Chain A
């Protein structure tokens, strides 16, 4: 059995809220020792509640007050024994704290420092104040998402967890480079660019055809029929995407409308796109007779891509996730057994990933300050009193 790939890596996690903690959750669960540093003086805004649980699984948590000079010295000692440091403050904040890359590198020359901010760490809009929920607008995503001729969508694209995964990726890419070339790295990461990088169709369409892509709801440039169709029950929908002519024939057969297959105006995807409204009526006559899960099963059995449109609670209860081994049952400190989220990958024949409950602030102070840094109990007690370890 293989060991987890990141065993032996130590990560100092100065990040907070969502994007940075998401990245270090991935690293911790795959074997890295992640030391999250926070302070009661300025708690992680997501400290309370289930969200914190999700984003901070599998980590160690030290309390440390960076506004005190002695706190800064302790961080430098932690940096000296770390392979990676991650932060996601607004651009410029980490330098004002006295922990810019020059300082970090002095503590550990081959360290990998990953710095993430809304728009990156240089350029005219570096100082722009950002939330993930706003970046989806700035990055172009909300100009192509939503309904045509309605105001832009206001819900979440979940920019932060998306970016968090990319932060983990670039961190491990840099670790690979350190193994190959022996040197560390400062990574300037722009959340906005991570999202804009995933719109190549719109970017290329504009250059090729002078066309500014517009939102099209559930419809698609290529496939038809393509949408959600009302099922039996209130606010129940099944999503159906017909991607080729054999799926089209299968759909028509299933809903008892083989006459549509022989109608030449629906023979091509282009034709089906043009008449999608009337096809929707025909499909809905069938879907409203079925529960959404049942509609999915029948459609999938016929070879048509389909699935229910679910809220998060139904996703949590999804048998696909539990039976595929996605969740990890953990007894949390309130004594309850809960299914905590897992990882989107399986390393076959490898030790199971580490997916434990999130820590509380200061939970691992003894290990981190005593065992790792070698401070005596008296020294630690003094620093607690002085609100340095705080």
Chain B
């Protein structure tokens, strides 16, 4: 039997495409809401993004689409046609929540915006995710993950300081952090609106800005600015002079291993003492240049050379295990291959397996939380085929 999750009886329409909207709706689905994905005849744009088996594009085999849309039902509607719009209105009349992330599909432009839908369903929650929100000079600007990552200040911090900033530009993280963080912000706001609706019946119109979602990750930096502090420099020479934090010097860093890298952070004196035990208390450790945190910060180039000469003889998992045995914060730099073989994640059943009629049996990342009194429907059904539930859901509307 499918577990009920936390939101039994809550109905969601997912008009989103790509990542942020569908990720928001995926969160609601894995929490137990009934999520109906509404796609145009050509399908969600994520169906045309990879990865695909053997890199061959196929409407039903996009790994990104399969992961973002598991546990949802799927119907196709041409919302620009009168019949399609009418079916959508009927569906919206039965829903608690509608999620959209224009462009390309904007309910407002289709005459299906909040005011129109609220007339048929006063308690409806409409969550709209856009690159910059609905106000401000950039409200009509386009953005992708790359643009959002750079504009929001994240790229300046990711690479750390570099020797020549004019030749070594800021970079984004891999994957699609801005889209996922924006989708999560939308899910958080939607959950809040749903609680408000349960308490006093009120509907909500919510506008989420992907840009502001990324900016909100950096509120400590914004507060530093509000208190007149300068931005951390990207020029390595300036960082060493100012000894600003981050993963440099005595705070921690990356060590090379014989099979990759390990990240360590023995920042407190007691942690450093225990780290020296891991390394077998090398003779240089009593040297004045490394005996205090300040000294280690000041002499970090020569210190990291000594650490690296030692670490290269071991594997990343070996060092992580030895370090953690001494309660030193350290972790291997894992690849997805490492994650999928990780005994801890396996024990916690983090990855979940589903069989899809076209794409076959695959493992998907699950949820980051386990609940004492509820099981989550993480494997209720694989992502829908295009139009899979048209008959079941749309024909019922006309009866």
Contact check, B336 vs A309: say whether CB atoms are below 8 A apart. no
Interface majority SS (helix, strand, loop, mixed), chain A: mixed
Q: Which residues of A contact B204 (CB under 8 A)?
A: 2, 5, 347-348, 350
Q: Which residues of B contact A166 (CB under 8 A)?
A: 184, 188, 368
Complexed CA–CA distance, A196 and B335 (Å): 11
Q: Which residues of B contact A144 (CB under 8 A)?
A: 173-175
Question: Which residues of A from 221 to 235 have beta carbons under 8 Å from B?
Answer: 221-223, 226-228, 230, 234-235
Q: What is the distance, in angstroms, from A276's C-beta to the closest C-beta of chain B?
A: 13
Q: Which residues of A contact B177 (CB under 8 A)?
A: 157, 162, 198
Q: What is the distance, in angstroms, from A82's C-beta to the closest C-beta of chain B?
A: 16
Complexed CA–CA distance, A196 and B342 (Å): 12
Contact check, B331 vs A213: say whether CB atoms are below 8 A apart. no
State whether A206 and B340 are in contact (beta carbons under 8 Å apart), knowing that A54-B219, A189-B369, A319-B136 are contacts in the complex: yes
Contact check, B348 vs A30: say whether CB atoms are below 8 A apart. no
Contact of A310 among B141, B156, B184, B363 (CB under 8 A): B156
17 more A-B residue pairs beyond the given contacts A30-B192, A239-B150, with a C-beta to C-beta distance below 8 A: A55-B220, A145-B172, A157-B177, A181-B8, A186-B372, A201-B50, A201-B175, A205-B51, A206-B340, A208-B63, A228-B169, A230-B169, A235-B165, A237-B170, A239-B155, A312-B222, A345-B208
- Interface pairs (27), CB distance under 8 Å: A6-B196, A53-B227, A54-B222, A123-B344, A135-B331, A137-B333, A142-B263, A145-B158, A145-B172, A153-B158, A155-B247, A158-B217, A174-B371, A180-B198, A185-B371, A194-B368, A199-B175, A201-B51, A204-B51, A208-B51, A213-B174, A310-B151, A312-B225, A318-B151, A344-B182, A348-B114, A348-B204
State whether A212 and B246 are in contact (beta carbons under 8 Å apart), knowing that A50-B224, A162-B217, A344-B185 are contacts in the complex: no
Interface extent on B, as a size class?
A: 35 or more
**Interface stretch (choices B83-91, B248-256, B387-395):** B248-256
Contact check, A346 vs B134: say whether CB atoms are below 8 A apart. yes
9 shortest interchain CB distances as A-B pairs: A204-B63, A5-B196, A144-B174, A200-B67, A324-B136, A316-B225, A50-B223, A205-B51, A138-B331
Q: Which residues of B contact A26 (CB under 8 A)?
A: 188
B31 CB within 8 Å of chain A: yes
Q: Find the B residue at minimum CB distance from A349.
A: B205
Q: What is the distance, in angstroms, from B310's C-beta to the closest C-beta of chain A?
A: 16
Contact of A177 among B114, B143, B374 (CB under 8 A): B374
Q: Which residues of A contact B246 (CB under 8 A)?
A: 154-156
Q: Find the B residue at minimum CB distance from A174.
A: B6
State whether A154 and B248 are in contact (beta carbons under 8 Å apart), knowing that A130-B329, A135-B331, A172-B188 are contacts in the complex: yes
A71 CB within 8 Å of chain B: no
Contact check, B195 vs A176: say whether CB atoms are below 8 A apart. yes
Question: Which residues of A from 273 to 314 have beta carbons under 8 Å from B?
Answer: 296, 300, 303-314
Question: Which residues of A from 102 to 138 have beta carbons under 8 Å from B?
Answer: 119-120, 122-131, 133-135, 137-138
Contact check, A142 vs B333: say whether CB atoms are below 8 A apart. yes
- Of B143, B223, B332, B339, chain A has the most CB atoms within 10 Å of the CB of B223
Contact of B364 among A128, A203, A243 (CB under 8 A): A203
Contact check, B218 vs A312: say whether CB atoms are below 8 A apart. yes
Complexed CA–CA distance, A232 and B189 (Å): 40
Interface majority SS (helix, strand, loop, mixed), chain B: mixed
Complexed CA–CA distance, A266 and B174 (Å): 24
Q: Which residues of A contact B146 (CB under 8 A)?
A: 218, 220, 223, 226-227, 239, 241, 305
Q: Find the A residue at minimum CB distance from B196.
A: A5
Contact check, A218 vs B64: say whether CB atoms are below 8 A apart. no
Complexed CA–CA distance, A128 and B344 (Å): 11
- Of B175, B327, B374, chain A has the most CB atoms within 10 Å of the CB of B175
Contact of A218 among B53, B171, B371 (CB under 8 A): B171
Q: Mark B309-325, 1 if CB is under 8 A from A, else 0.
A: 00000000000000010
Question: Which residues of A from 1 to 44 have beta carbons under 8 Å from B?
Answer: 2-6, 8, 18, 22, 26, 30
Question: Which residues of B from 99 to 136 have beta carbons under 8 Å from A?
Answer: 114, 132-136
State whether A323 and B135 are in contact (beta carbons under 8 Å apart), knowing that A152-B333, A174-B6, A338-B226 are contacts in the complex: yes
Q: What is the distance, in angstroms, from B184's C-beta to the closest C-beta of chain A?
A: 6
A373 CB within 8 Å of chain B: no
Q: Mark B250-278, 1 if CB is under 8 A from A, else 0.
A: 00111010000111110000000000000
